[in-house]
Structure 1
């Protein structure tokens, strides 16, 4: 199809060049150039051709076979229909018919197909709406101390300014995770939006037909901050588009920052939290001007936060463990036999005895890849020193290893030493790892020994990493007699 611009260009070049040269400069063929000189009208001035220039290859089956298929299943793809035609009519409909069939199907859908879903763009007023959602971060392959860190993010976004907040959630999409994340976001923003919107979280909604089917705890949370609650229709994630689209951009920003960093491993959870906070703050700087406008329209915060935990009870067994929500936790042995009041937060458990907090531990995960145990090896060191032989058959032995290097070391010790010596050496290594700041450094040394195929020398490692008692020099202080100060006074008066 020639354009009016090409025809004008050809006519201009034809004044000074031959027909072939003018056609080449206008980007048309010589045959088209001859047609232009025979009829100088512009393409837009000529009547459009509505007749076919070649036979319709689908004329025999369009009304009898293809249209009934589309009416019965409008979402059928053209390639699926073509494969059926090829099965029903061998050697009659080659693959070259596909493009013609796609055009015909597209035209049929526009003329007689079912109505499509309409998306309504929204205008967001400052301070009107904030949105919460969770997003999985498994695709980023983050590791902590060399171990894969399966987690998701709680993500909050203010619809007008795109200001956002995110924090790590190791467990599921629980009410505690929602409450902690939402309150952290509100207090960091310095105010509350008038409306809080989520998807159909079971932590916030009973998911009944009633529009206002809030759970009791979620309704109390909204009332405390003076917000109204709404949700999108089930299965319609685009209705939460302000936060759903932000998921992708936030994860892309985290992924890019990890690439710049050069590796995806962090020494501990706190280091990853700090890394994530810097990424979110960097994104918020771009929206600072809009956030200042929205900040003026936010509802004032209440005087204090509301409850963001659930209280349960658990008895510490003689194995120095207790169970909360199907996850086994360890505790200091001094708490054996006591019944604790356990406050379950989104990221941790705080344990109280007679009103005093006696233990705190990170919350375990219900993920499929998790052992559903949250064991701290430090709670068992003293007992294992007295009974090192119990280490080999311990039910939760593999959960005692703080890093992969310790597990690999145990496998080598078990294979190349007697059971007694292997257990004693491993317990000694764990005791050494429990010292402040030694766990990560010792893990690097053990990893190097594993590569070299050398067993660890426990006395030498103790000499290297254990704290040394410094010998302080003895200082003898001679106290002068009190009468010697009178001499100073006399000298001052004389002067």
Structure 2
């Protein structure tokens, strides 16, 4: 109103109204009164009849007092049942305003959120998040996985790594230690949600698991967790889970494909994305890094150690999964270290075996990892055992070999088929031509032909080394006399 009056002294009514952003009718009303809008008395009349006059005090208020959590739309539906054809959907907005006003005047206390101040170096948080919605594929196979993320509450500096299994202690210990050593220091407190890997949730009082207690003691961390079901207490990490997945999705869109050659390349992609996110908080991170406590002299264990005896079948059984090992270890008892993504077998302080870790699922309760090279020396001596071997289907290095075995078993006798299959595997091992031989077997399969082992041996036989002929021409001794005379 004041702005319009200032403009009115220089312009006409229409121009001043346009410049003040009001209508001409409002301009005439402003000029016809001397009071400011705030000085006018409150209006005591209604512009239309109140549709809730008869039911508000008698019916709606008792409903709200009996059940304060009722929504306005629920109250409207109840009124429509009691009074058909009387209340339509146009009443909903009025009812919502009246219910909101009633709750503000007569409702119960509402929860208040207390914003927390996080001093540098005080709090670090850990959490896991499922990333199946990213639709990552490794060589055409969908990768179901999680991401472990650690973040500092003050600066927002974070670290993330891939987790193929569940939220296990190995994944927590490995990710946490990797984050701390990458940060170069330790915060005062480490907070998680109610992870079963860190807390005994069945205990009547909060109780740490033994391994997690030892891990926190090694780094001098004070362990804490948020109240179960109250995720906003971990808001500093929960919000960053969403921002991390959003950043990964955006980077994947720029990349143009969600396909990766191997798990290592995808891990590098995640690390590059996290590095770009950390660049946004570089200034705050410099302040927080100076407040971190020193790391211990060394890392602590981030694996679970179990005993396993190698059976006469050349297998060890770990957590419902079966692994083949070199036959020279049959009968030995191994110390197996279970990490988050792999396992290591140790014998007398020497690592004798390492492979990717398998995990059981609803579809596959007892997964198997059979390395055909471990079984091949025994199969050379007993090729006839191949036909009805219980682990035969897990033996083939590639699907082309399995398809070739199906043709052999149909076109040859059992003895001949076993011997030919073992010879093919032996050739693939000795000449290191697994992929090349698979291509040949696939081409033969298209014409329903059987491989000729002698022809293949000749084809992949090592080429003889050809030594070049070197002819040495010795100069005459008189040449040296000429050189001496010239000197």
TM-score range, shorter chain: 0.7 to 0.9
Relative to structure 1, the CA distance from residue 105 to residue 425 in structure 2 (aligned partners, 3 Å threshold; closer, same or farther) is farther
Distance 1:373 1:344 in 2: 16
Distance 1:198 1:45 in 2: 56
- Tell me whether 181-190 or 316-325 shows the greater mean CA deviation: 316-325
Distance 2:426 2:362 in 1: 27
Show CA shifts across 1:414-450 (max 9, x none): 69994769997899699869997976x999x89x99x
Distance 2:430 2:137 in 1: 21
**Is 1:185 the counterpart of 2:179 in the alignment?**
yes
**Is 1:16 the counterpart of 2:12 in the alignment?**
yes
Relative to structure 1, the CA distance from residue 298 to residue 27 in structure 2 (aligned partners, 3 Å threshold; closer, same or farther) is closer
Distance 1:426 1:63 in 2: 90
Q: CA deviation at 1:309?
A: 1.4
Distance 1:120 1:378 in 2: 61
Pairs within 5 Å for 1:180-219: 180-207=174-201, 208-211=203-206, 213-219=207-213
* Residue-pair matches, total: 476
Distance 2:133 2:423 in 1: 36
**Is 1:282 the counterpart of 2:276 in the alignment?**
yes
Distance 2:355 2:85 in 1: 71
**Is 1:266 the counterpart of 2:295 in the alignment?**
no
Relative to structure 1, the CA distance from residue 247 to residue 429 in structure 2 (aligned partners, 3 Å threshold; closer, same or farther) is farther
Q: Select 2:124's aligned residue among 106, 130, 138.
A: 130
CA contact (8 A) 1:429 1:458 kept: no
* Alignment-derived partner of residue 332 in structure 1: 326
Q: CA deviation at 1:273?
A: 1.1
Relative to structure 1, the CA distance from residue 266 to residue 22 in structure 2 (aligned partners, 3 Å threshold; closer, same or farther) is same
Q: Which ranges of structure 1 fall in alignment gaps of 5 or more residues?
A: none
* Alignment-derived partner of residue 169 in structure 1: 163
Distance 2:477 2:284 in 1: 72
Relative to structure 1, the CA distance from residue 185 to residue 438 in structure 2 (aligned partners, 3 Å threshold; closer, same or farther) is farther
CA contact (8 A) 1:7 1:42 kept: no
- The RMSD of aligned alpha carbons is 4.3
CA contact (8 A) 1:172 1:365 kept: no
**Is 1:121 the counterpart of 2:115 in the alignment?**
yes
* Alignment-derived partner of residue 154 in structure 1: 148
* Alignment-derived partner of residue 467 in structure 2: 474
Show CA shifts across 1:182-208 (max 9, x none): 111111111111111111111111133
Distance 1:415 1:81 in 2: 73
Distance 2:226 2:168 in 1: 18
Pairs within 5 Å for 1:293-442: 293-368=287-362, 372-379=366-373, 382=376, 397=393, 406=399, 418=410
CA contact (8 A) 1:410 1:426 kept: no
Q: CA deviation at 1:349?
A: 0.9
SS in 1 for 2:268: helix
**Is 1:97 the counterpart of 2:85 in the alignment?**
no
Q: Select 2:82's aligned residue among 76, 88, 111.
A: 88
**Is 1:231 the counterpart of 2:255 in the alignment?**
no
* Alignment-derived partner of residue 140 in structure 1: 134
Q: CA deviation at 1:228?
A: 1.2
Distance 1:384 1:185 in 2: 46
Q: CA deviation at 1:283?
A: 1.4
Show CA shifts across 1:276-296 (max 9, x none): 111111211222222222222
Q: Which ranges of structure 2 fall in alignment gaps of 5 or more residues?
A: none
CA contact (8 A) 2:396 2:402 kept: no
Pairs within 5 Å for 1:28-107: 28-107=22-101
Q: CA deviation at 1:490?
A: 11
Q: CA deviation at 1:346?
A: 1.8
SS in 2 for 1:60: helix
CA contact (8 A) 2:407 2:448 kept: no
Distance 2:379 2:69 in 1: 65
SS in 2 for 1:300: coil
Q: CA deviation at 1:395?
A: 6.0
